[in-house]
């Protein structure tokens, strides 16, 4: 993995910005006494590049806990009551955590995945729409996966920290 400044992994900076007001954000995590920042708040763009301890929720699965930096964010409104939010984190251990949330009518679904590379982050943000219904006797064309808008914005932001992300949202043609 190549960073924008040429180093091979994210720089380890001292923890900044851990002035959490809500005591409910504190969790017991083995081998670490830092406060956790629950990553379900859409006002964290000012935290880009700051090393913090995060707890990322996942609907129907274990939460992901790590120390790292928020390196990319994106969002997309898909109608009056539908909103998507994407984030990319770089962990101190050299991995990435990709998140995507969908809020529909005040109900939120949280998806997140630990990724080994920028390419696996991009794969997480590729979605396949449902195959359209067809009339009887016709063949349905399979749906083609595409990069979701919120994920594309998050990948674009991550490119300012890691060069490996740039080729994932831009295609250069001669």
More confident residue, 43 or 142: 142
- What's the pLDDT at 44? 58
Distance from C-alpha of 162 to C-alpha of 96, rounded to nearest angstrom: 11
What is the reported pLDDT for 4? 43
φ/ψ of residue 169, rounded to 5: -125, -10
Evaluate the CA torsion angle 26, 29, 35, 38 in order and state its sign. Answer: negative
Banded model confidence at residue 167, pLDDT cuts 50, 70, 90: confident
- The tokens for 143 are 């749906």
The rounded distance, in Å, linking the Cα atoms of 145 and 125 is 10
Query: If DSSP codes are grouped into helix, strand and coil, which group holds residue 86?
Result: strand
Question: Which of the given ranges, 16-25, 46-55, 109-118, has the highest pLDDT on average?
Answer: 109-118
pTM: 0.70
Identify the bridge partners of residue 67 per DSSP, sorted by sequence position.
53
| Domain spans of the chain, in order of start | 34-131+140-169
As a whole number of angstroms, the distance between CA 72 and CA 83 comes to 17
Q: How does pLDDT run across 77-96, given as a tens digit for each residue? A: 887 788 899 999 999 999 99
**Mean of the per-residue pLDDT values of the chain:** 76
Give the residue among 45, 87, 86, 94 at the shortest CA–CA distance from 66: 94
Given a cut of 50, whether residue 17 has pLDDT beyond it is: no
Higher local confidence (pLDDT), 34 or 114: 114
Closest CA to 33 of 18, 44, 49: 18
């Amino acid at each position: 993995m190549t960073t924008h400044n040429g180093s091979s992994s994210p720089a380890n900076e001292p923890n900044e910005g851990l002035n959490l007001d809500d005591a409910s954000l504190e969790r017991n995590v083995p081998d670490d006494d830092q406060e956790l920042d629950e990553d379900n708040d859409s006002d964290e763009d000012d935290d880009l590049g700051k090393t913090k301890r995060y707890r990322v929720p996942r609907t129907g699965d274990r939460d992901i806990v790590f120390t790292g930096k928020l390196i990319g964010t994106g969002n997309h409104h898909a109608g009056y009551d539908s909103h998507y939010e994407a984030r990319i984190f770089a962990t101190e251990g050299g991995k990435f955590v990709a998140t995507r949330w969908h809020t529909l009518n005040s109900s939120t679904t949280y998806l997140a995945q630990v990724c080994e590379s920028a390419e696996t982050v991009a794969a997480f943000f590729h979605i396949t729409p449902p195959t359209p219904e067809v009339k009887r006797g016709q063949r349905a064309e399979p749906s083609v996966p595409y990069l979701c808008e919120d994920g594309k914005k998050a990948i674009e932001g991550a490119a300012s920290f890691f060069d490996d992300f740039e080729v994932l949202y831009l295609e250069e043609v001669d």
